[in-house]
Amino acid sequence: MAPCPTDSCRISPCHTGPDEPAAAMPFRLEAVEDDARRAALFGRMRREGLAGCAMYAWAEPREEDWLRLVSAPGSLLLQATAPDGAVLACGLFSPWRGRVREFDFTVFRPAFPLAVPLARAAFGLVFRQTETSALWGLCPVSNRHAWRLAEACGFSVTGRLPGACWLARRAAFVDGVQVVCTPRSLALARQRDRPAAQSRPAAQRFM
């Protein structure tokens, strides 16, 4: 990807409401640029048992590994926060090839029911405010939840790559599922779900 000015991407904070069918609350998306808040996100992932999923290539992910990953040149770390200040999710978007970014998105356990609207909002923000042309991901084939969630968010499964992922907890290479999202596929996913949501009474849409 063409580097952003000063090797960092400037993202304007974004407030978003329940514009997705499953969204139940407004939330704020913003870039996390200081090590204290970056470390707090890792601590939360570790406490909730999510660090091993987000960093499956590490047998025992450490805070210093996480900080090195999220502070690499051109990387963008986003955080979603509820109105009461509770952190709902975070997403890492890293330069990959050309204008394509690799992504990893983690939803914290209390916000699991909001996974799709949170992820879609973050992906949309990246497309709107950076020069990103597509998002690319690769996850172990055994992590069905991750790539099926990606499909719900507008990603297409484009292939299964033999031995593409190093799964540290097994000390083995496993097949990887490759997924890709573009601004168009994200918009189509939103359009696909909107009629079903609009057909339900308002009181049922945000339960």
CATH number for the domain harbouring residue 176 = 3.40.630.30
Alpha-carbon distances, residue 79 vs 1, 29, 31, 114, 149 (angstroms)? 22, 6, 6, 14, 18
Long-range pairs for 17-22: beta carbons < 8 A, 24 or more residues apart: 18/117, 18/205, 18/206, 19/117, 20/116, 20/117, 20/120, 20/121, 20/190, 20/193, 20/197, 21/117, 21/193, 21/194, 21/196, 21/197, 21/205, 22/113, 22/114, 22/116, 22/117
For a pLDDT cut of 90, what percent of the chain falls above it? 68
Residue 5, domain member (yes or no): no
**pLDDT at residue 176, as a whole number:** 94
**pLDDT at residue 3, as a whole number:** 35
Mean pLDDT of 12-25: 54
Name the least confident of 59-63, 111-115, 118-122, 172-176. 59-63
**pLDDT at residue 88, as a whole number:** 97
Residue 4, domain member (yes or no): no
Bridging pattern class, strands 87-97 and 76-81: antiparallel
Dist CA 91 CA 119 (whole Å): 8
Residue 207, domain member (yes or no): no
Range from 132-141, 145-154, 192-201 that averages highest in pLDDT: 132-141
Residue 1, domain member (yes or no): no
Average pLDDT over the chain reads 84
What is the extent of the structural domain holding 184? 12-199
Residue 152, domain member (yes or no): yes
**Bigger pLDDT: 139 vs 25:** 139
Of 1, 83, 67, 57, whose CA–CA distance to 32 is shortest? 67
Residue 3, domain member (yes or no): no
200 pLDDT higher than 80: no
Residue 177, domain member (yes or no): yes
107 pLDDT higher than 60: yes
Tally of domains within the chain: 1
- pLDDT tens column, 141-191: 988 888 888 999 999 999 999 999 999 888 999 999 999 999 999 999 999
54 pLDDT higher than 90: no
Residue 7, domain member (yes or no): no
